[in-house]
Amino acid sequence: MQPGSQAPLIAVSTIKDSPDHVRRYVEGNLAGGVDHLVVFLDAPSEEGQDEVLAELAEHPRVSVVRAGGAWWGGQRPRELNVRQCINANVTRRVLAGLGLGHGWLLHIDGDEVVRVDREALARVPEDALALRLGVREAVSSSTWQGQPTAFKAELEDGDLALLHGLGVIDEPSNQVWIRGHVMGKSAVRIGAERWLTLHKVAREDRSHEPGLEDGAWLVFHYESYSLEDFCRKWTAMVASGPRAAYRAERRQVARTLRDLISRGLAPDALRRQLERFYRLEVEEDLATLRDLQVVDEVDPLVPLPGAPTPPGAVPVAELDAALEAWRGRAKPEEELFRGTSPAGPGATSPTPGRRRGLLGGRGR
Protein backbone atom coordinates (compact mmCIF):
# COMPACT_ATOMS: atom_id res chain seq x y z
CA MET A 1 0.00 0.00 0.00
CA GLN A 2 1.31 3.48 -0.85
CA PRO A 3 1.64 5.87 2.10
CA GLY A 4 -1.79 7.14 3.09
CA SER A 5 -3.58 5.63 0.07
CA GLN A 6 -7.06 4.33 0.75
CA ALA A 7 -6.62 5.18 4.45
CA PRO A 8 -10.06 6.24 5.68
CA LEU A 9 -10.48 9.38 7.77
CA ILE A 10 -13.10 8.93 10.48
CA ALA A 11 -14.24 11.64 12.91
CA VAL A 12 -15.73 10.99 16.35
CA SER A 13 -17.75 13.42 18.48
CA THR A 14 -19.81 13.51 21.66
CA ILE A 15 -22.56 16.05 21.19
CA LYS A 16 -25.79 17.56 22.47
CA ASP A 17 -27.02 20.11 19.97
CA SER A 18 -29.92 21.32 17.88
CA PRO A 19 -30.99 19.48 14.71
CA ASP A 20 -29.88 22.41 12.54
CA HIS A 21 -26.40 22.52 14.05
CA VAL A 22 -26.04 18.75 13.78
CA ARG A 23 -26.97 18.94 10.09
CA ARG A 24 -24.23 21.53 9.56
CA TYR A 25 -21.77 19.32 11.43
CA VAL A 26 -22.62 16.24 9.36
CA GLU A 27 -22.83 17.89 5.94
CA GLY A 28 -19.79 20.11 6.49
CA ASN A 29 -17.45 17.39 7.73
CA LEU A 30 -18.44 14.91 5.05
CA ALA A 31 -17.95 17.66 2.44
CA GLY A 32 -14.57 18.52 3.96
CA GLY A 33 -12.87 15.16 3.48
CA VAL A 34 -14.16 12.97 6.31
CA ASP A 35 -15.25 9.48 5.18
CA HIS A 36 -17.42 8.52 8.14
CA LEU A 37 -18.70 10.08 11.37
CA VAL A 38 -19.19 8.37 14.73
CA VAL A 39 -21.55 10.44 16.89
CA PHE A 40 -22.26 9.81 20.57
CA LEU A 41 -25.42 11.55 21.78
CA ASP A 42 -24.52 12.74 25.26
CA ALA A 43 -28.11 13.36 26.42
CA PRO A 44 -30.32 11.29 24.09
CA SER A 45 -33.46 11.66 26.22
CA GLU A 46 -33.51 15.45 26.26
CA GLU A 47 -35.77 17.64 24.16
CA GLY A 48 -34.96 17.69 20.45
CA GLN A 49 -32.58 14.73 20.58
CA ASP A 50 -35.10 12.25 19.15
CA GLU A 51 -35.08 14.25 15.91
CA VAL A 52 -31.29 14.35 15.93
CA LEU A 53 -31.12 10.59 16.52
CA ALA A 54 -33.58 9.85 13.70
CA GLU A 55 -31.67 11.93 11.16
CA LEU A 56 -28.28 10.54 12.12
CA ALA A 57 -29.54 6.94 12.11
CA GLU A 58 -30.77 7.34 8.52
CA HIS A 59 -27.47 8.69 7.19
CA PRO A 60 -25.35 6.01 5.46
CA ARG A 61 -22.06 7.67 6.47
CA VAL A 62 -22.89 8.18 10.15
CA SER A 63 -22.80 5.76 13.09
CA VAL A 64 -24.79 7.06 16.05
CA VAL A 65 -24.69 5.84 19.66
CA ARG A 66 -27.17 6.74 22.39
CA ALA A 67 -24.65 7.54 25.12
CA GLY A 68 -26.97 8.15 28.07
CA GLY A 69 -26.89 6.35 31.39
CA ALA A 70 -27.34 2.87 29.89
CA TRP A 71 -24.25 3.35 27.73
CA TRP A 72 -22.11 3.88 30.82
CA GLY A 73 -23.60 1.09 32.87
CA GLY A 74 -24.16 3.34 35.88
CA GLN A 75 -20.59 4.72 35.84
CA ARG A 76 -21.07 7.88 33.78
CA PRO A 77 -18.15 10.30 34.30
CA ARG A 78 -19.27 13.66 35.66
CA GLU A 79 -16.94 15.72 33.45
CA LEU A 80 -17.89 16.19 29.80
CA ASN A 81 -14.29 16.18 28.61
CA VAL A 82 -13.74 12.76 30.20
CA ARG A 83 -16.84 11.38 28.49
CA GLN A 84 -15.65 12.81 25.17
CA CYS A 85 -12.19 11.27 25.44
CA ILE A 86 -13.44 7.86 26.59
CA ASN A 87 -15.94 7.70 23.72
CA ALA A 88 -13.20 8.61 21.26
CA ASN A 89 -10.87 5.92 22.55
CA VAL A 90 -13.59 3.27 22.62
CA THR A 91 -14.11 4.13 18.95
CA ARG A 92 -10.41 3.75 18.22
CA ARG A 93 -10.39 0.29 19.78
CA VAL A 94 -13.47 -0.75 17.83
CA LEU A 95 -12.06 0.49 14.52
CA ALA A 96 -8.73 -1.24 15.13
CA GLY A 97 -10.60 -4.47 15.81
CA LEU A 98 -12.32 -4.12 12.44
CA GLY A 99 -9.01 -4.03 10.58
CA LEU A 100 -8.88 -0.26 10.02
CA GLY A 101 -5.60 0.27 11.84
CA HIS A 102 -4.05 2.05 8.83
CA GLY A 103 -6.74 4.74 8.90
CA TRP A 104 -7.07 7.95 10.90
CA LEU A 105 -9.42 8.88 13.73
CA LEU A 106 -10.06 12.56 14.35
CA HIS A 107 -11.70 13.91 17.52
CA ILE A 108 -13.85 17.02 16.93
CA ASP A 109 -16.72 18.88 18.58
CA GLY A 110 -20.22 19.42 17.30
CA ASP A 111 -19.46 23.06 16.46
CA GLU A 112 -16.45 22.19 14.29
CA VAL A 113 -16.06 21.39 10.60
CA VAL A 114 -12.79 20.04 9.22
CA ARG A 115 -11.26 20.60 5.79
CA VAL A 116 -8.68 17.94 4.94
CA ASP A 117 -7.10 17.85 1.51
CA ARG A 118 -7.02 14.17 0.59
CA GLU A 119 -3.98 14.46 -1.68
CA ALA A 120 -1.95 15.93 1.18
CA LEU A 121 -3.27 13.18 3.45
CA ALA A 122 -2.20 10.52 0.95
CA ARG A 123 1.41 11.77 1.18
CA VAL A 124 1.68 11.06 4.91
CA PRO A 125 4.40 8.47 5.67
CA GLU A 126 3.14 5.11 6.92
CA ASP A 127 5.10 5.44 10.16
CA ALA A 128 3.37 8.71 11.12
CA LEU A 129 1.16 8.28 14.18
CA ALA A 130 -0.50 11.69 14.57
CA LEU A 131 -1.72 14.68 12.58
CA ARG A 132 -2.39 18.23 13.75
CA LEU A 133 -5.07 20.48 12.26
CA GLY A 134 -4.74 24.23 12.61
CA VAL A 135 -7.79 26.17 13.82
CA ARG A 136 -9.85 28.89 12.16
CA GLU A 137 -12.45 30.61 14.34
CA ALA A 138 -15.65 32.20 13.05
CA VAL A 139 -16.01 35.94 13.50
CA SER A 140 -18.85 36.63 15.92
CA SER A 141 -21.37 39.00 14.37
CA SER A 142 -25.09 39.68 14.62
CA THR A 143 -25.09 40.53 10.90
CA TRP A 144 -24.82 36.95 9.65
CA GLN A 145 -27.86 36.01 7.58
CA GLY A 146 -26.78 32.37 7.42
CA GLN A 147 -23.60 30.52 8.35
CA PRO A 148 -20.43 32.61 8.85
CA THR A 149 -17.94 32.97 6.03
CA ALA A 150 -15.23 35.05 7.74
CA PHE A 151 -12.75 33.22 9.98
CA LYS A 152 -9.81 34.26 12.14
CA ALA A 153 -6.40 32.60 12.26
CA GLU A 154 -3.56 33.30 14.65
CA LEU A 155 -1.86 36.57 13.67
CA GLU A 156 1.69 37.84 13.58
CA ASP A 157 2.85 40.32 16.22
CA GLY A 158 2.52 43.32 13.89
CA ASP A 159 -1.11 42.57 13.11
CA LEU A 160 -1.90 42.03 16.79
CA ALA A 161 -0.23 45.33 17.71
CA LEU A 162 -2.30 47.16 15.09
CA LEU A 163 -5.56 45.61 16.32
CA HIS A 164 -4.65 46.54 19.87
CA GLY A 165 -3.69 50.08 18.92
CA LEU A 166 -7.02 50.54 17.15
CA GLY A 167 -8.92 49.25 20.17
CA VAL A 168 -10.15 46.10 18.41
CA ILE A 169 -8.64 43.77 21.04
CA ASP A 170 -7.72 44.45 24.66
CA GLU A 171 -4.23 42.97 24.43
CA PRO A 172 -1.89 42.27 21.48
CA SER A 173 -2.16 38.52 21.97
CA ASN A 174 -3.55 35.58 20.03
CA GLN A 175 -4.92 34.31 23.32
CA VAL A 176 -7.25 37.32 23.29
CA TRP A 177 -7.83 37.48 19.52
CA ILE A 178 -9.02 33.84 19.46
CA ARG A 179 -11.88 33.30 21.93
CA GLY A 180 -11.99 29.51 21.81
CA HIS A 181 -9.11 27.07 21.57
CA VAL A 182 -5.88 27.89 19.74
CA MET A 183 -4.47 24.35 19.84
CA GLY A 184 -6.45 22.98 16.90
CA LYS A 185 -7.39 19.31 16.78
CA SER A 186 -5.53 16.03 16.26
CA ALA A 187 -5.97 12.74 14.47
CA VAL A 188 -4.40 9.44 15.53
CA ARG A 189 -3.36 6.45 13.45
CA ILE A 190 -6.07 4.00 14.48
CA GLY A 191 -3.75 1.04 14.95
CA ALA A 192 -1.24 2.95 17.10
CA GLU A 193 -1.12 2.46 20.86
CA ARG A 194 -2.03 6.07 21.42
CA TRP A 195 -4.99 7.91 22.96
CA LEU A 196 -7.05 10.83 21.74
CA THR A 197 -7.61 13.75 24.10
CA LEU A 198 -9.64 16.88 23.40
CA HIS A 199 -6.88 18.43 21.28
CA LYS A 200 -3.87 16.13 21.21
CA VAL A 201 -2.66 12.57 20.82
CA ALA A 202 -1.26 11.11 24.04
CA ARG A 203 1.24 8.34 24.74
CA GLU A 204 1.06 5.80 27.57
CA ASP A 205 2.92 8.16 29.92
CA ARG A 206 0.51 10.99 28.98
CA SER A 207 3.14 12.91 27.04
CA HIS A 208 2.06 14.16 23.63
CA GLU A 209 2.79 12.59 20.27
CA PRO A 210 4.16 15.21 17.85
CA GLY A 211 1.77 15.57 14.94
CA LEU A 212 2.47 16.28 11.29
CA GLU A 213 1.01 19.61 10.17
CA ASP A 214 -0.06 20.86 6.77
CA GLY A 215 -1.80 24.08 5.80
CA ALA A 216 -4.30 21.96 3.89
CA TRP A 217 -5.60 20.42 7.15
CA LEU A 218 -7.79 22.80 9.11
CA VAL A 219 -10.65 22.76 11.60
CA PHE A 220 -13.20 25.57 11.42
CA HIS A 221 -14.63 26.44 14.82
CA TYR A 222 -18.13 27.94 14.95
CA GLU A 223 -17.47 29.47 18.36
CA SER A 224 -20.32 31.77 19.53
CA TYR A 225 -20.52 33.16 16.00
CA SER A 226 -23.84 34.94 16.61
CA LEU A 227 -25.97 36.16 19.50
CA GLU A 228 -28.25 33.15 19.22
CA ASP A 229 -25.36 30.70 19.19
CA PHE A 230 -23.70 32.46 22.13
CA CYS A 231 -26.85 32.18 24.26
CA ARG A 232 -27.42 28.54 23.25
CA LYS A 233 -23.84 27.50 23.88
CA TRP A 234 -23.42 28.98 27.34
CA THR A 235 -26.83 27.91 28.58
CA ALA A 236 -26.06 24.34 27.46
CA MET A 237 -22.58 24.39 29.00
CA VAL A 238 -23.86 25.48 32.40
CA ALA A 239 -26.46 22.70 32.28
CA SER A 240 -23.89 20.05 31.24
CA GLY A 241 -22.49 19.45 34.72
CA PRO A 242 -19.21 20.26 36.50
CA ARG A 243 -17.14 23.20 35.42
CA ALA A 244 -14.85 22.65 32.46
CA ALA A 245 -11.23 23.80 32.49
CA TYR A 246 -10.59 27.09 30.71
CA ARG A 247 -7.35 28.81 29.80
CA ALA A 248 -6.54 31.85 31.94
CA GLU A 249 -7.83 34.40 29.44
CA ARG A 250 -11.31 32.86 29.47
CA ARG A 251 -11.80 31.96 33.14
CA GLN A 252 -13.39 35.25 34.19
CA VAL A 253 -15.78 35.12 31.21
CA ALA A 254 -16.79 31.58 32.12
CA ARG A 255 -17.21 32.49 35.80
CA THR A 256 -19.38 35.51 35.00
CA LEU A 257 -21.63 33.60 32.62
CA ARG A 258 -22.02 30.66 34.97
CA ASP A 259 -22.99 33.00 37.81
CA LEU A 260 -25.45 34.82 35.56
CA ILE A 261 -27.13 31.72 34.12
CA SER A 262 -27.28 29.99 37.51
CA ARG A 263 -28.92 32.99 39.17
CA GLY A 264 -32.48 31.80 38.51
CA LEU A 265 -33.57 34.88 36.56
CA ALA A 266 -36.81 35.01 34.63
CA PRO A 267 -36.21 33.87 31.03
CA ASP A 268 -36.72 37.32 29.50
CA ALA A 269 -34.40 38.95 32.07
CA LEU A 270 -31.72 36.31 31.48
CA ARG A 271 -31.97 36.82 27.74
CA ARG A 272 -31.55 40.60 28.11
CA GLN A 273 -28.45 40.18 30.27
CA LEU A 274 -26.90 37.60 27.97
CA GLU A 275 -27.49 39.92 25.02
CA ARG A 276 -25.94 42.80 26.96
CA PHE A 277 -22.84 40.72 27.74
CA TYR A 278 -22.63 39.60 24.11
CA ARG A 279 -22.73 43.17 22.77
CA LEU A 280 -20.11 44.36 25.25
CA GLU A 281 -17.68 41.45 25.33
CA VAL A 282 -18.17 39.05 22.44
CA GLU A 283 -19.50 40.63 19.24
CA GLU A 284 -16.80 41.69 16.77
CA ASP A 285 -16.76 44.49 14.22
CA LEU A 286 -16.84 42.43 11.04
CA ALA A 287 -16.56 45.46 8.73
CA THR A 288 -13.39 46.66 10.50
CA LEU A 289 -11.79 43.23 10.43
CA ARG A 290 -12.47 43.01 6.71
CA ASP A 291 -11.06 46.51 6.14
CA LEU A 292 -7.88 45.49 7.95
CA GLN A 293 -7.63 42.22 5.98
CA VAL A 294 -7.14 40.09 9.10
CA VAL A 295 -9.84 37.49 8.34
CA ASP A 296 -10.02 34.66 5.83
CA GLU A 297 -13.08 34.64 3.58
CA VAL A 298 -14.14 31.01 3.13
CA ASP A 299 -17.26 28.86 3.25
CA PRO A 300 -16.25 25.62 5.01
CA LEU A 301 -19.49 23.96 3.95
CA VAL A 302 -18.62 23.96 0.23
CA PRO A 303 -17.46 20.44 -0.79
CA LEU A 304 -13.75 19.97 -1.35
CA PRO A 305 -12.61 18.35 -4.60
CA GLY A 306 -11.44 14.77 -4.34
CA ALA A 307 -13.45 11.65 -3.67
CA PRO A 308 -13.50 9.95 -0.26
CA THR A 309 -12.27 6.39 0.13
CA PRO A 310 -14.25 3.86 -1.92
CA PRO A 311 -17.65 2.73 -0.64
CA GLY A 312 -17.23 -0.18 1.71
CA ALA A 313 -13.86 0.98 3.04
CA VAL A 314 -15.62 1.57 6.36
CA PRO A 315 -17.77 -1.50 7.23
CA VAL A 316 -20.70 0.45 8.65
CA ALA A 317 -22.91 -2.44 9.80
CA GLU A 318 -19.99 -4.11 11.58
CA LEU A 319 -18.94 -0.79 13.11
CA ASP A 320 -22.44 -0.09 14.43
CA ALA A 321 -22.69 -3.56 15.97
CA ALA A 322 -19.23 -3.36 17.54
CA LEU A 323 -19.98 0.01 19.10
CA GLU A 324 -23.30 -1.22 20.47
CA ALA A 325 -21.50 -4.15 22.07
CA TRP A 326 -19.85 -1.64 24.44
CA ARG A 327 -23.23 -0.56 25.84
CA GLY A 328 -23.29 -1.08 29.61
CA ARG A 329 -19.68 -2.28 29.70
CA ALA A 330 -17.17 -0.79 32.10
CA LYS A 331 -15.08 1.96 30.54
CA PRO A 332 -12.30 2.52 33.07
CA GLU A 333 -10.53 5.85 32.87
CA GLU A 334 -7.16 4.25 33.52
CA GLU A 335 -7.51 2.34 30.23
CA LEU A 336 -9.35 4.86 28.05
CA PHE A 337 -8.42 8.34 29.26
CA ARG A 338 -5.08 10.11 28.90
CA GLY A 339 -6.30 13.67 29.21
CA THR A 340 -3.73 14.99 31.68
CA SER A 341 -0.15 15.78 30.79
CA PRO A 342 2.59 14.59 33.14
CA ALA A 343 4.60 17.03 35.21
CA GLY A 344 8.36 17.14 35.32
CA PRO A 345 10.79 15.11 33.20
CA GLY A 346 9.26 13.25 30.30
CA ALA A 347 6.50 15.76 29.62
CA THR A 348 6.47 17.18 26.12
CA SER A 349 5.46 20.65 25.08
CA PRO A 350 2.83 20.91 22.36
CA THR A 351 4.95 23.33 20.32
CA PRO A 352 8.62 22.21 20.18
CA GLY A 353 7.71 18.70 19.06
CA ARG A 354 5.68 19.75 16.04
CA ARG A 355 7.04 18.77 12.66
CA ARG A 356 5.74 21.85 10.86
CA GLY A 357 5.83 21.98 7.09
CA LEU A 358 7.03 18.41 6.60
CA LEU A 359 4.54 17.90 3.80
CA GLY A 360 5.17 21.20 2.14
CA GLY A 361 2.11 23.06 3.48
CA ARG A 362 2.12 26.01 5.80
CA GLY A 363 -0.42 27.66 8.03
CA ARG A 364 -0.78 31.34 8.90
Lowest-pLDDT range, 54-58, 143-147, 152-156, 244-248? Answer: 244-248
Q: What is the pLDDT of residue 356?
A: 30
Which residues are bridge partners to 47 per DSSP? none
| Mean pLDDT, all residues of the chain | 88
Alpha helices in 267-342 (DSSP H): 267-277, 286-291, 316-324, 333-336
Q: What is the pLDDT of residue 255?
A: 86
Task: Look at residue 245 and tell me whether its pLDDT is greater than 90.
Answer: no
What lies within 8 Å, CB to CB, of 3 at 6+ separation is 122, 123, 124, 125, 126
* Alpha-carbon torsion, ordered 261, 265, 271, 274, to 10 deg: -40
Give burial (CB, 10 Å; 0-12/13-18/19+) of 339. Answer: buried
Mean pLDDT for 145-152 is 94
Q: Which of 58, 63, 22, 118 is nearest to 326 (CA)?
A: 63
Give burial (CB, 10 Å; 0-12/13-18/19+) of 143. Answer: exposed
Q: What percent of the chain has pLDDT over 90?
A: 73
| pLDDT tens, residue by residue, 269-327 | 999 999 999 999 999 999 999 999 999 999 999 999 876 677 778 999 999 999 999 99
* Helix H or strand E encompassing 8: none
Q: What is the pLDDT of residue 2?
A: 42
